[in-house]
Each structure stands twice: as structure tokens, then as C-alpha cells.
Chains A and B, each alone.
Chain A
Amino acid sequence: MKAKFFRTISILYKDLLCELRSGQGIAVMILPEILIAGLFRISGITITEPERLVSCVLLVNLLFAGILGGERTALSEHENGCINGLLVCPAKSEEIYFAKFGFNFLLLCLFGIIIVPILAILFLTESNIHLLELLFSILLINIALGSVVTILGFLVYRSGAGNSLLSVIFIPVMLPVFIPAVNLITYCLGGGDTIDTGNKAVQFLVCFDIIFLTLGWLLFDFVLEEN
């Protein structure tokens, strides 16, 4: 059990080291975010419910960040032939899956921590933000995003169809997660929803997290194996 954990952590550490050295991943995620948030701010539309707008912008940004990050996860493994090393090492596919999921999850959390203050400064100067609940809900959403994007990134890469296909399959799978997520984040930012919708949304999100993590764990073996 301890050995499994250490194998997962070592693969995760390798990915984090690569990311620290190149820094490409987080940069590629931040730029679209600034663009989208800036566009909304400049457009001069009258914003009647800024919390709802911010929750939508936040989720769109997390979606894009998830797609870009997931693409890079699969691509960076395959392009230098590292995937062969990964398959040959004593780690099982479930350990590889959890390591990749952990990497995507940490990247998305870092991204969330960076953009929430930016969005708050741009839009939410007059709302009372429930910070702890906001962090907790972003954590839940990132678990769902990370678990799906890990397996779908590898799947789309194996299919050889090109990276644009990741967004085609990723967005419909994520839509049922985003419907309660919008309500939850609106509540956390101090918007119009009551704590009831927040509770129901948390239940939905936890269910989806468990389902997607389990599915990714069970199916990753089939995605990785050679014919």
C-alpha cells in the first residue's frame, strides 16, 4: 500500500518538476483568462448580477484551462517517447492515472487561486464572498474536471484524431457538472441563491466526482494498453 502511494507520488513529482522547469502549462492557461475577463469588463454591459456573471466566467476559464492542460498531459508523454518508459516502469495504470489526475488537479487549483482575485477585483467589489466555501467548491469542480480530462486527453491522443476532438467530447461530458456548479459558485460569491441550492449542488458535485474518479480509474487501463 505504501509502495503504491510512493509510486504515484514519484510520477506526480516528475510531472510537477517538468512543469516548474518549463512553466508552459500555467502560462497557456492564464492568457485566455485575462482575455475573457478583460473583454467582459471593457464591453461596458450593465451587470445586474455580477456574482452570476463571475461564476460563469470562472467556469468557462476552468473549462478552457482543463482542455489545454489535459491536451498537454497526453502530448508531453507521447512526444519524446516517455510513454514507453511509463508503461515499462513498475507502476500500474491506476497509479499512473492518479498521478496524472493529481497533476491536472493541482494545476487547475493553482489556476483557480490565481484568477479568483483577478475576477474579484474586476467585478465583485461590492459582494461579500464566502471565501472558505468558494475554495471548497472550486476544489470539488477541479476534481471532476481533472478526472475527466486526464482520461479523455489520453483517449483522444490514442485515437489519433487531433486535439480539437478533446473539446468536442469534453464539453458535453462536463455540462451536467457545470449546471449545479454555477449555482454553487454564485452562492459562494454572495449572490442571490440560498444555502439550499448550495447544499444540493454540493451533493451533485460530490456524486459526479465519485463517478468520474471511479470511471477514470477503471478505464485508464484500456486507454493505455498497447494492442
Chain B
Amino acid sequence: MRKVLLILSFIFLTGGWTICLLPGRVEPAVRNIIYVHVPSAITSLVCMVAVLIGSIQYLRTKKDKWDFFAAGSVEAGFIFATVLNITGCIFAKAEWEVWWTPSARLVSSATLWFLYTAYLILRSNTAGKLRKKVCAVTGIIASVDVPFVLISARFIRDIHQPGFSFETGWQYSGLAMLIAGSLLLASVWVLVRIRIFRIESKIYDYK
């Protein structure tokens, strides 16, 4: 399963990048960073939803695998949220000459990053049996930001982020392939991390 997902994500990402950079190239060259920005935005939001699902299921069933799923999703989503914020800053600097502006969309994306960080800090500072429960409750409270990011991205029209539309079909398909590839890569990371967690827990059981 993991190998299949890995190979698929490799195909999608490589193929997507080939399409995006060759036929689907956007002029001025810096604008191509939108091809990194949009997939990482979608993937980080999907990872937060996965954290919500994992946390709720852990609190319902008390099975460790759901806690591993939530924690793995946090780690994968954290990387994508970092990429989201950094590429957003670069894109804003290139397009509108300002690194950062306090509009709702940017603040809610930064909040997403801080929530991932808070979960990771809480997870590493809590010891013992309470760790899983504390992190599950934190994950549920943290995922309240996701609808706010979506609403501020779609419905609140800022001066700074108008709706983006492409010119050729190549660009749409390239972006779609990159989104699919990023989601598959995130799932590979989460599955590998779950495997590592399981091995760790078996080691601790032996002790």
C-alpha cells in the first residue's frame, strides 16, 4: 500500500512539475511558485482534518492507532504549513511588493502553522499515559481554524488576493496533478510515521 502510494505520488509530482514548468509555464517566472503554494495549502488543511478525525476516534475507541494517525498527520501537515507560509510570503513580495499584510487569509494560515507547532510542543512536553488524551483534545480544538481558513480564502474578498484563473488547460491539469501528488506524498509520510510509532510502542512494551 505504502509502496503503491509512493510510486503514484512520484509519478504525479514529477509529471505535474514537468507539465507546470514546460507547457504550463506562467510568465513572470516567480509566479510559478503558485504551483507550490496551492497544493501545500490544500494538503495542510486535509492533514488538519485528518488530525480531527484521528483525535475524535481516539477519544471514542481509545485505540493507539488513531493517536498515531493524528500525530503523524500533524507532522506532515506542519511541513506543508511551513511551505505554505513561506511561499505565500515570496509570492506576495513578487506580486504586491509586500512580504506580509494582516489580512484574514494570511493570518489564518499563520494560525494554522502556530496550531501545528502548539500540538507538537504539547506532545513532546507531556509524559506518560496522559500524552495521547491531551494531544487528542488539543487536536480537536486546533482544527476549529480550518473552516475559518476556507471561509477567509473563498468568501472574504481582500484587495490582496483576488481569485486566480489560469489561461491554458495545461496549467489546470498541472496544478491538479501537483495537488494529487502532494496529497499522496503526505499520506506516504503519515503511513511511514505510523509504522515508526508502532515500532516505538513495541520497544517500550518490551521495556
Contacts and interface: CB of A to CB of B under 8 A. Distances in A.
A152 to B, nearest CB: 7
Given A165-B122, A169-B118, A176-B148, A160 B130 contact: yes
Contacts of A160: 125-127, 130
B182 interface: no
A222 B115 contact: no
Given A152-B141, A222-B137, A159 B125 contact: yes
Kindly state the interface size class of chain A when it binds its partner: 20 to 34
Which applies to chain B's interface (DSSP): helix, strand, loop or mixed?
Answer: helix
A60 to B, nearest CB: 14
Contacts of A172: 111, 114-115, 117-118, 142, 145
Contacts, number: 82
B134 A159 contact: yes
A175 B126 contact: no
Interface string B30-68: 000000000000000000000000000001000000000
Interface in B95-149: 104, 107-108, 110-111, 114-115, 117-118, 121-122, 125-127, 129-131, 133-134, 136-138, 140-142, 144-145, 148
Contacts of B142: 169, 172-173
B137 A219 contact: yes
A78 interface: no
8 contacts: A159-B122, A159-B125, A159-B130, A172-B118, A175-B107, A175-B108, A175-B111, A175-B145
Interface of A: 148, 151-152, 155-156, 158-162, 165, 168-169, 171-173, 175-176, 179, 208, 211-212, 215, 219, 222-223, 227
